[in-house]
Amino acid sequence: MNRKTYNAAKKTLENNCYAINLHNQLLRRTLPSREFYVHQWNWDSATHAMALIHIDEMRAYEEIYSLLSGQWVNGLIPHIIFNPSETRYFPGPDIWDTEKTSGTTIATSGITQPPLITISAFYMYKTAKDRNQARIFQKNVIPKLVAYHEHLKKYRDPENSGLLTIIHPWESGTDNSPRWDNVLQQIDIGSIPDRIKETVNEGRTDNKLGELDDRPKVYDYYRYLYLTDLYKNWQWDFVKIVRESPFAVKDILFNAIWCYANDSLAQFLEETGKGKDAKKFRVWEQQTRDAIQSLWNSHSQIFKLINVTQGKKISIYEDTIANFLPLLAKAVTKTQLTQLINQLLDPKKYWSPVPLPSIALDNPKFELTRYWRGPSWPITNLLIIEGLRNYEMSNPCKKLQLKIIKKTMSMIEKYGFSEYYNPYGENTYTKRKTLGFGSFSWSAAIYIYLAHEYKLITF
């Protein structure tokens, strides 16, 4: 651990902080990057709070309160809570048009993101030094988290399979991962109205503020916006959306986090003596774990996804970083564990000079710089580090976990707080070592979290 980087990480989180007046209360929240992501993002904030709890407990709570301020009356916690004074980001509030259905006056998007917020909130509660404040936080957030979980279960798993359905690639947090290619290709570009294409061509800012080669392609954006337009026209009726949308997928990353989030929520409730209320979430946790286990294909050594669009049931096999997320859900057998470790440590697959790439290096769809189609991301490294923790009694797991922690921290020390990183580091065809947008909050937050949680710094 490097003290200079640690201090710079704190500074980055300070610089990216802004206060918002919500019902006459000033709440501090953290934007992901001033270069582009100028609002509040759901799983980014959940990650920020896991670091903030170590450096400023009140600010960590405010981060979560601010995120929850955008919760809909039906329980949804949206993926973006907009900052009313910012216009730089596309697609902004007018594209989503959620205010009529959300039941809140706060402008938000209409989709969600992996439910890391529950895991983060329980972690904050366990870690906080001021126990009084921690209990106040616990009292405030539990009903909202319960409502969120009930919302997800009701609307995203109507068939009670144990696996939630996501309705937009953005809900996975891994927007342009090849996991969505086959599903998205079924949306014929020719059938997308010109007005949507024009909105994208005129409105899109990510490709102008950032590098074109780092970002999703224009056809991805046409389809992303086609979906949001459809849902807006359906007035965010999630029963209809899940049934009729041209994009409905049981994703492995989202569901692994869902499984772990139910464990966190159950523990959170048990802590307050509400063991009876916790039971339901324990059942959901185990149901999802069993369902994830049934997705394993021993030949390809991949946990498949299921495309459930409009009643279909089509398996998707794609070799991406999401394949390791079942570790987080404790959904991995001994044999699978060995096979997954071998894949992670294979220099032809995931053990690149700057690991872990977002898709296997030998996946023909690998692209060095493009967002979730190759680059290494601190967030997925973190989720895998935490996943390996579930198996740390096994020596190879413990060793690998420490290696990934070390590599993640030195990647950040060497290349700064980028959104994502070139998996080949210096030794590469491109001169650019850092990718995406800069001064990125969750890269800073993950550095701080790892330093504290794994006791790599003496205070």
CB of 94 to ligand DGY, least distance (A): 15
Residues 6+ apart with CB under 8 A from 447: 5, 6, 9, 51, 378, 409, 412, 417
Is residue 251 annotated as a catalytic residue, yes or no?
Answer: no
Nearer of residues 170 and 260 to ligand DGY, judged by Cβ: 170
Judged on CB neighbours under 10 Å (0-12, 13-18, 19+), 396 is middle
Confirm or reject binding of residue 170 to ligand DGY (CB under 6 A). yes
Number of chain residues interacting with ligand DGY (CB under 6 A) = 4
CB of 227 to ligand DGY, least distance (A): 12
Q: Which of residues 186-215 bind ligand DGY (CB under 6 A)?
A: 206
- The residue sitting closest to ligand DGY, measured at its beta carbon, is 170
Is residue 175 annotated as a catalytic residue, yes or no?
Answer: yes
Question: For residue 249, what are the β-bridge partners?
Answer: 166, 307
**Beta strands of 140-233 (E only): which ranges?**
165-166
* d(C-alpha 238, C-alpha 371), whole Å: 28
- What string of DSSP letters covers 90-154? SS-HHHH--HHHHSSSS-B-SS----HHHHHHHHHHHH-S-HHHHHHHHHHHHHHHHHHHHHHHH
Nearer of residues 175 and 318 to ligand DGY, judged by Cβ: 175
Spatial CA neighbour of 156 closest among 254, 79, 46? 254
* d(C-alpha 198, C-alpha 415), whole Å: 37
Q: Which long-range contacts (CB under 8 A, 24 or more apart) does 219-225 make?
A: 219/189, 220/169, 220/175, 220/176, 220/184, 222/189, 222/192, 222/196, 222/197, 223/184, 223/187, 223/189, 223/192, 223/247, 224/168, 224/169, 224/170, 224/175, 225/91, 225/95, 225/196, 225/199, 225/200
CB of 175 to ligand DGY, least distance (A): 5
Provide the terminal-to-terminal Cα distance of the chain, rounded to the nearest Å.
Answer: 12
Q: Which residue has the tokens 């056809």?
A: 219
Distances (CA, A) of 284 to 44, 224, 229, 289, 335: 25, 30, 32, 9, 25
CB of 221 to ligand DGY, least distance (A): 9
| Near ligand DGY by CB under 6 A: residue from 62, 171, 175, 251 | 175
CB of 371 to ligand DGY, least distance (A): 8
CB of 380 to ligand DGY, least distance (A): 14
Nearer of residues 206 and 229 to ligand DGY, judged by Cβ: 206
Q: What residue type is 39 in one-letter code?
A: H
CB of 29 to ligand DGY, least distance (A): 16
Judged on CB neighbours under 10 Å (0-12, 13-18, 19+), 45 is buried
Nearer of residues 165 and 172 to ligand DGY, judged by Cβ: 172
Confirm or reject binding of residue 440 to ligand DGY (CB under 6 A). no
* d(C-alpha 279, C-alpha 143), whole Å: 15
Nearer of residues 37 and 424 to ligand DGY, judged by Cβ: 37
Contact between 215 and 371 under an 8 Å Cβ cutoff? The reply is: yes
Nearer of residues 79 and 156 to ligand DGY, judged by Cβ: 79
Q: Which helix (H) or strand (E) holds 183?
A: helix 181-185
CA dihedral (265, 270, 275, 279) in degrees, to 10, reads: 30
Nearer of residues 80 and 331 to ligand DGY, judged by Cβ: 80
Question: For residue 22, what are the β-bridge partners?
Answer: 25
CB of 168 to ligand DGY, least distance (A): 9
Q: Which of 44, 220, 319, 419 is catalytic?
A: 419
Nearer of residues 37 and 296 to ligand DGY, judged by Cβ: 37
Q: Which of residues 127-166 bind ligand DGY (CB under 6 A)?
A: none
CB of 341 to ligand DGY, least distance (A): 30
Contact between 265 and 118 under an 8 Å Cβ cutoff? The reply is: yes
Confirm or reject binding of residue 453 to ligand DGY (CB under 6 A). no
Instruction: Mark 56-85 with x for binding to ligand DGY (rule: CB under 6 A) and - for no binding.
Output: -----------------------x------
Nearer of residues 65 and 96 to ligand DGY, judged by Cβ: 96
Q: Which of 175, 318, 319, 453 is catalytic?
A: 175
Catalytic residues: 175, 419
The contact set with ligand DGY (CB under 6 A) reads 79, 170, 175, 206
